[in-house]
Structure 1
Amino acid sequence: MGRTLRYAASLRSAATQDAEMTPLRKLFFHRPLQHGEGDPVTTNHRRKKILFLTSQLPYPPHQGGAIRTYNMIVNLAPRHEIHLLSFVNSPSDLMRAGPLHQYCQTIQALPVPRRSSLKRLLTTLFSPLPDMALRLPSAEFRRALAARLEGERFDVVQVESIEMAPYAMGDAGWGTDHRPFDSAQGGPLWVFDDYNAEYVLQQRAFETDVRHPRRWIGAFYSFIQWQKLRRYEAAVCQRVDRVIAVSEADKEILQKLGPGVGVTVIPNGVDTRAYDPGQTYSLVLGPHPIVFTGKMDFRPNIDAVLWFCHQVLPLIKTQVPDVHFYIVGQKPPPRLRPLAEDPAVTLTGYVDDVRPYIAGAGVYAVPLRIGGGTRLKIMEAMALGKAIVSTSLGCEGYPVTSGRELVIADTPQEFARCVVELLGDAQRREELGHAGRRFVEERYDWRAIVPRLERVYESESQAVLSRTQKPGILYNKTEPAVFINYSHKDEE
């Protein structure tokens, strides 16, 4: 295929590793254009050169942000030229990037910066910026991004998640007054993909945790972050050319952050071909399995399974003694391990593929009480034709009706009753499963969603041509490539 993979710099010495966690300096993958890729395509939109900025490589797509970004890239690639600039933990991450090499013209990877626990504590308490904006400050990344923008002409730069938002900011990024490269003056269109209305997620986390004395430290953290994120998210949304949100609910929240915030809904979706209810799996979960999937170091997921195991599962056991609850997902924290002492609970940790577990579920549970955005897990379970019981918050953002595509229950008693009824009624489970599958096929297949994103690129690109001055986005070509006067070095 003529592909090349080259190191842009050698591995660091042991002495140099004191400054940064990883020996990775920079990796750069370049895939030459294949026959016909540079030719005009038969679409309503001009072929665009798009640069994605991500906090991690979106492959393997095992958690929400990676799933979303990966599917966007896969479905944009046939009609556009895709480039990826990303953080990685080690060189092996890029070697495992798999299909990304087929879809991206270039993949440039840089080491994840590290903060010490003390530095994180101090910035959490005293920095005016939210914790999420201080997770990935990297001079190397800023230099790499500047080099790409100075050396190439991109039509779109898409910033994935609030952690990467500082790279779409100038003075509001990490504290200087540097004018960015303005889209209205010939630069790229800047699009911010906000996975959640993050400040609302922290507000809800505070309101949940403050009711439990053992969680008051988390409540204190969320209260501080809620206030900081509201200001910061507002600044980001007012800086970029277009914000994309995952739901109408998030759109309304983000538009209230300030005048002139342009938000378009690009919902989360699912690859209905990959999540096929006709596929058979060898995994057998038992007679009455309940399944929950998710990244298990994510606070909303932690709260969800604790609430379910402590308040819902005991009620189910009185009616269905052989019920079994599977908690499927990577990085479960120590506080969840005692749950697995119950013979009726399995904590799987990381699995290569969640589909066998979802497909094997009698009932798929979404007991979320904290959150924002929309839950990809809902789409995956619907695509596999499963009966779902969810809280109202768990299915927030989706136009569903309780009793049609899924069942909604918000109290422990309601949730337990709905699960018990479905475990005992195979026909009802099948009806809900068929309705859910139709729902995602008609509304939430990625092949139908991504053209909406292309329309955003096209309409916004036309709109910026008619604008005069607008607050800038990242760099001004007339100024030196000095990025941000950030005093904190990347740390272990």
Structure 2
Amino acid sequence: MLGNAAAGDPASKMVTARDSKPDLLYLSPVVPSLTGNGLAMRAGAVLEGLAECYSVSLLVVTLYPPFVPCVPEVFETLCRRTAVVARPRQSWLSFLAPSRWMGPLAAWRRLPVDVIHVFRLAMAPYARPFRERHSGVLSHLDLDDIESTTHRRISSLCEANRDHILARFEEAQAKANQEAEREAFAGFGRIYVCSEADRAELQANTRAELCVLPNAVRSPAAAPGAGSGSGSRLLFVGTLGYYPNDDGARYLCDEIVPRVRTQWPGDFQVEIAGPGASSRLLDAADRAGVHVAGWVPDLEPCYRAADVVVVPVRAGGGTRIKVLEAFSYRRPVVTTAAGIEGIDARHEEHVLIAGGPEEFAGHCVRLMGDRALRERLARNAWDLLARRYSIEVLKRTIASSLPPALRRESRSGARPPFAR
């Protein structure tokens, strides 16, 4: 058991006087973060938005990295109380016996709750004891992406790469997640997705209210400069232990970088930043002369040094938060169609979108040699980010979707009749 406060005593980290905001219990499988992997970044961005409208109690069961022992102070100060709980050791299915891990959290089940907000499908079983205790309150599920679809896409990519064992595993994961989705969709009153495409895909599968809550990123405090100025530094950022990112990085090294070398007359540098590089990727990078930086605690220097950000991923789900992060640093992006999925960006206006490796390399070379084009794409992408994918937009989206009964409570301080 880990946490900022004693998990069995939520009052040890709480505001002494109740404010007039409705109470929301936020259940997350990852500790929120300002940077790092996209999952933790979405957890943090949504928490920031929810805290504008709700008095938030944050409980993290660490199913995904980063496996850190407490909530960062920047997010802790947004919450009424916080706790971080290590993933139950018995098994992935230990949620079937909640007493094994819920015992120390008994006091959390007695907290006043108006809304239970569950982040990611994997947290739905862990939310069951809270939903049973507060059976009359609103339950919201933030899917982030449709995991059955994502695993099926990854399975197809594995097959194309002749990773047949992984393909079978991903297909099994797709089927398991499809069953979990079917159960979850029947139990939650509202489901958040991160794009209109995901909402359209789910409309036939659930009666729940479907709300689009786009990914969002915070812009750096200081405006970035112009990179190296030479146009010759390319950057790819991603968690490399995730198969689509590993595949994209190897695709970059094996198929794209050699083509850039044949088209670009001078020297250039390619950097891959992110944890979990496989031996296959390291070998491919060595052959291509690509630098693999590994885990970087602060990505800002990487973005500031880069002239072009590349997103060569060929499968995945949801939206790529790292594309938005590149937009926030005013860096032009070359991407595949899969890399920009779910983001309302247009080819030649906000990004350059490539089909095969030859076209991808050509787009890189074009940007490397055209500073005006780099600046135009970066400026347009920054404007798009401010209009559609900023933290401020996310806050307004959450505020506008506040249930009517809770809007009345926020104004009057009265408890809605269904809250316990």
Q: TM-score range by the shorter chain?
A: 0.7 to 0.9
For the pair 1:420 / 2:368, whether they are aligned, the reply is no
| Alpha-carbon separation, structure 1, partners of 2:50 and 2:131 | 30
Letter in 2 for 1:52: Y
| Alpha-carbon separation, structure 1, partners of 2:281 and 2:89 | 26
Partner residue in 2 for 1:261? 208
5 Å-filtered alignment, 1:263-342, equals 263-272=210-219, 274=220, 276=222, 278-279=223-224, 288-320=232-264, 322-342=267-287
Pairwise CA distance, 1:428: 0.5
Q: 1:240 to 1:79 in 2, by over 3 A?
A: closer
For the pair 1:161 / 2:143, whether they are aligned, the reply is no
State how many pairs are aligned.
402
| Alpha-carbon separation, structure 1, partners of 2:243 and 2:229 | 26
Pairwise CA distance, 1:346: 1.1
Partner residue in 1 for 2:132? 180
Letter in 2 for 1:242: R
Unaligned stretches of 5+ in structure 1? Answer: 9-25, 41-46, 117-132, 171-177, 463-476, 478-492
Q: 1:61 to 1:460 in 2, by over 3 A?
A: farther
Q: 1:343 to 1:54 in 2, by over 3 A?
A: same
| Alpha-carbon separation, structure 2, partners of 1:255 and 1:135 | 31
Q: 1:306 to 1:156 in 2, by over 3 A?
A: same
Q: Describe the SS at the equivalent of 1:93.
A: coil
Check the 8 A contact 1:54/1:85 in 2, yes or no: yes
Check the 8 A contact 1:68/1:268 in 2, yes or no: yes
| Alpha-carbon separation, structure 2, partners of 1:351 and 1:456 | 36
| Alpha-carbon separation, structure 2, partners of 1:430 and 1:391 | 20
| Alpha-carbon separation, structure 1, partners of 2:401 and 2:22 | 12
Partner residue in 2 for 1:58? 32
Check the 8 A contact 2:33/2:43 in 1, yes or no: no
Return the TM-score normalized by structure 1.
0.74
Q: 1:155 to 1:292 in 2, by over 3 A?
A: same
| Offset from partner CA, 1:310-350 (integer Å, 9 cap, x none) | 11111011122522221111222333221332363111111
1:152 to 101, 104, 111: 111
Partner residue in 2 for 1:352? 297
Q: 1:6 to 1:428 in 2, by over 3 A?
A: closer
Partner residue in 1 for 2:190? 242
Pairwise CA distance, 1:39: 4.5
Unaligned stretches of 5+ in structure 2? Answer: 408-419
| Alpha-carbon separation, structure 2, partners of 1:296 and 1:448 | 30
Check the 8 A contact 2:250/2:285 in 1, yes or no: no
| Alpha-carbon separation, structure 1, partners of 2:117 and 2:131 | 19
Q: 1:318 to 1:460 in 2, by over 3 A?
A: farther
| Alpha-carbon separation, structure 1, partners of 2:125 and 2:102 | 10
Q: 1:169 to 1:350 in 2, by over 3 A?
A: same
| Offset from partner CA, 1:179-221 (integer Å, 9 cap, x none) | 93464xxx321111101110111111111111232x1111111
Check the 8 A contact 1:241/1:460 in 2, yes or no: no
| Alpha-carbon separation, structure 1, partners of 2:57 and 2:347 | 41
Q: 1:423 to 1:61 in 2, by over 3 A?
A: closer
Partner residue in 2 for 1:233? 181
Q: 1:114 to 1:316 in 2, by over 3 A?
A: farther
| Alpha-carbon separation, structure 1, partners of 2:179 and 2:39 | 23
Q: Describe the SS at the equivalent of 2:112.
A: coil
For the pair 1:382 / 2:327, whether they are aligned, the reply is yes
Q: Work out the percentage of aligned pairs sharing the same amino acid.
A: 26
| Alpha-carbon separation, structure 2, partners of 1:241 and 1:105 | 24
Letter in 2 for 1:348: A
For the pair 1:98 / 2:73, whether they are aligned, the reply is yes
Check the 8 A contact 1:27/1:108 in 2, yes or no: no
Q: Describe the SS at the equivalent of 2:26.
A: strand
| Alpha-carbon separation, structure 2, partners of 1:144 and 1:51 | 17
Q: 1:229 to 1:6 in 2, by over 3 A?
A: closer
Q: Describe the SS at the equivalent of 1:331.
A: coil
Q: 1:136 to 1:323 in 2, by over 3 A?
A: farther
| Alpha-carbon separation, structure 2, partners of 1:343 and 1:111 | 40
Pairwise CA distance, 1:275: 6.2
Partner residue in 1 for 2:159? 210
For the pair 1:109 / 2:84, whether they are aligned, the reply is yes
Q: Describe the SS at the equivalent of 1:377.
A: helix
Partner residue in 2 for 1:437? 382
Check the 8 A contact 1:364/1:387 in 2, yes or no: yes
| Alpha-carbon separation, structure 2, partners of 1:416 and 1:344 | 16
Partner residue in 2 for 1:200? 149
Partner residue in 1 for 2:410? none
| Alpha-carbon separation, structure 2, partners of 1:388 and 1:5 | 38
| Alpha-carbon separation, structure 1, partners of 2:101 and 2:153 | 33
Partner residue in 1 for 2:47? 73
| Offset from partner CA, 1:66-106 (integer Å, 9 cap, x none) | 1112122223334431111112499x933562222211111
Please provide the CA RMSD for this pair.
3.0
| Alpha-carbon separation, structure 1, partners of 2:31 and 2:140 | 18
For the pair 1:142 / 2:102, whether they are aligned, the reply is yes
| Alpha-carbon separation, structure 2, partners of 1:48 and 1:156 | 8
Check the 8 A contact 2:6/2:12 in 1, yes or no: no
